[in-house]
Structure 1
Amino acid sequence: MTGPMTKRFWKLAPMAVLISILAACAQKTPPPPPPPVVVIPPLPQPPMGAPENMRIPEVAENGVRKTVNTDVSSAQAVWNLRSAFNVAALNCVEPEYAAVLEGYKGFLKVHDKSLDKANAELNKSFSGAFGGREGIRQRETYQTQVYNFFAVPPVKTTFCEAAMQIASEIALLPAGQLEGYAPQGLAKIEAPFMDFFNAYDQYRADLAAWHAKYGGIVVIAPERRAEAVTPQ
């Protein structure tokens, strides 16, 4: 047969063969490799079992973290040290911290005149700044902040350890020298809280970095549908 149909057949045959070859090649193309496995580290957690979104004193532009103990007068340093020691005596009740309560009792007896002097100076200072009754209210409000500062639960263990050191040092402090010792003693008993605040700032930075790197990754569980990691 050499008619028109035969000629058309021979023209179409190469195309049909090409299509068959391409189809065969397509069927034999291996599937793409699976995406690389991404190991996602655990979500950063607050230090010392602290709650999330905890408010802590911020670091000022000069690099100093301002707390209730920052830039206080000599009398206020004495009274804040007394307040910290008082919180420790009430909260550090485990047997290993027995020296704290005993030290506090001795502190009140040996340094009673220095404490009375500081108390009188603070009453005068607040009264002069705010007036009689308002001065009392302002001082009580501030003093509540001081007590709350030294009672932050996550810091209890390291706070009690610092209080043990303070109790040992104050036990050797002669009467009349409390005012000179108060600033350094206050700094020592405040140090565990500053360390905690620094650790909490680092936690917040680590958490932000975790969300920036892993917050949008899709996790594919075996034999289950893909689920996106939801930032927390």
Structure 2
Amino acid sequence: MKHVLSKRFFAGSAIVATIAALAACAPKPAPPPPPAPVVVVIPPRPNPPLGAPAGLTVPPLAPDGTRITVNRGVSAAQALWNLRSAYNVAALNCLDPQYAPILAGYSHFLKTHAKTLTAVNKELDKTFKQNYGAKSYIRERETYQTQVYNYFALPPVMPAFCNAALAMSNEVQAIPAGQLEGYTMLGLSRVDTPFREFFNSFDQYRADLAAWEARYGAQPVGVAPAVLGVQGLSQ
């Protein structure tokens, strides 16, 4: 009886060994494919708005959130003269046919409000003389006036400025002589808005560029010179 059991045991062991050997010889399953590579889509590098130079210096923001420009915090007389200056820039630079009314309107503006403008000019001379002295006031006023003209002649903003100047020109034609002061702040705000909007968009561009470089790495880029007359504009 023991002999029979031994044969069965060895036979079973042989079967198990055979199965194990066959299992060892069986082909191994193929390894899983490697994970697909992660594709990083890099968005385009932000560009300055309206084709402005990347190195442009724009007027900073004051703590109260207003933009520190030549039109901030000025007297009523200076605001009116700045409006006149903006009108003059528009008459000289907005030359496309649709802006033709600006030049005619500017001539009408000077004639209709000649008395007011003369009085304002004398008042500003007096103010600058008080502030800077008899020897320096002309130079100081001319320096400031150059900043005003350059401010309103900023090339990237010119198309939007011409549209605003045309709207202002149409409005000011209805202002009778002697009542120009009442329109000054509205008119100046109208022609100044395109510049403030541009400066805001340029600040946003800088923020977007900083975020892009922080995520994707700074790339070398040529820096164009700042536009004349925009640096150091403060009042």
- CA deviations 1:178-202 (Å, max 9, x no partner) are 1121111101100000110111111
> Corresponding residue for 1:49?
51
In the aligned structure 2, how far is the partner of 1:32 from the partner of 1:90?
Answer: 67
**Of residues 139, 142, 152 in structure 2, which corresponds to 1:140?**
142
Asked if 2 retains the 8 angstrom alpha-carbon contact of 1:80 and 1:186, the reply is yes
- Matched positions, count: 195
**Of residues 15, 36, 41 in structure 1, which corresponds to 2:38?**
36
In the aligned structure 1, how far is the partner of 2:209 from the partner of 2:220?
Answer: 10
Runs of 4+ in 1 over 2 A off after TM superposition: 28-35
**Aligned residue type for 2:75:** S
Query: Which runs of no fewer than 5 residues in structure 1 stay unpaired?
Result: 1-20, 217-229
> Corresponding residue for 1:115?
117
Asked if 2 retains the 8 angstrom alpha-carbon contact of 1:215 and 1:231, the reply is no
- CA deviations 1:93-129 (Å, max 9, x no partner) are 1111000101100000000011001100000000111
Asked if 2 retains the 8 angstrom alpha-carbon contact of 1:211 and 1:231, the reply is no
Deviation at 1:57, TM superposition (A): 0.6
SS at match of 1:207: helix
Instruction: Compute the TM-score of the two structures, normalised by the length of structure 2.
Output: 0.79
In the aligned structure 2, how far is the partner of 1:47 from the partner of 1:58?
Answer: 17
> Corresponding residue for 1:126?
128
**Of residues 213, 216, 219 in structure 1, which corresponds to 2:215?**
213
> Corresponding residue for 1:64?
66
Percent identity over the alignment is 57
Residue 149 (structure 2) pairs with residue 164 (structure 1): no
Deviation at 1:61, TM superposition (A): 1.2
In the aligned structure 1, how far is the partner of 2:199 from the partner of 2:175?
Answer: 30
- CA deviations 1:137-172 (Å, max 9, x no partner) are 000000000000000000011100001011111100
In the aligned structure 2, how far is the partner of 1:198 from the partner of 1:130?
Answer: 33
In the aligned structure 2, how far is the partner of 1:165 from the partner of 1:84?
Answer: 13
> Corresponding residue for 2:179?
177
> Corresponding residue for 2:21?
none
Deviation at 1:133, TM superposition (A): 2.6
> Corresponding residue for 2:152?
150
Query: Which runs of no fewer than 5 residues in structure 2 stay unpaired?
Result: 1-23, 222-235
Larger RCO (CA under 8 A, 6+ residues apart) = 2
In the aligned structure 2, how far is the partner of 1:140 from the partner of 1:89?
Answer: 20
Instruction: Compute the TM-score of the two structures, normalised by the length of structure 1.
Output: 0.80
1:4-15 to 2 correspondences below 5 Å: none
- CA deviations 1:35-83 (Å, max 9, x no partner) are 3000101000000111102100111111111110001111101100000
> Corresponding residue for 1:102?
104
SS at match of 1:133: coil
**Of residues 186, 189, 211 in structure 1, which corresponds to 2:188?**
186
In the aligned structure 1, how far is the partner of 2:115 from the partner of 2:42?
Answer: 60
SS at match of 2:144: helix
> Corresponding residue for 2:3?
none
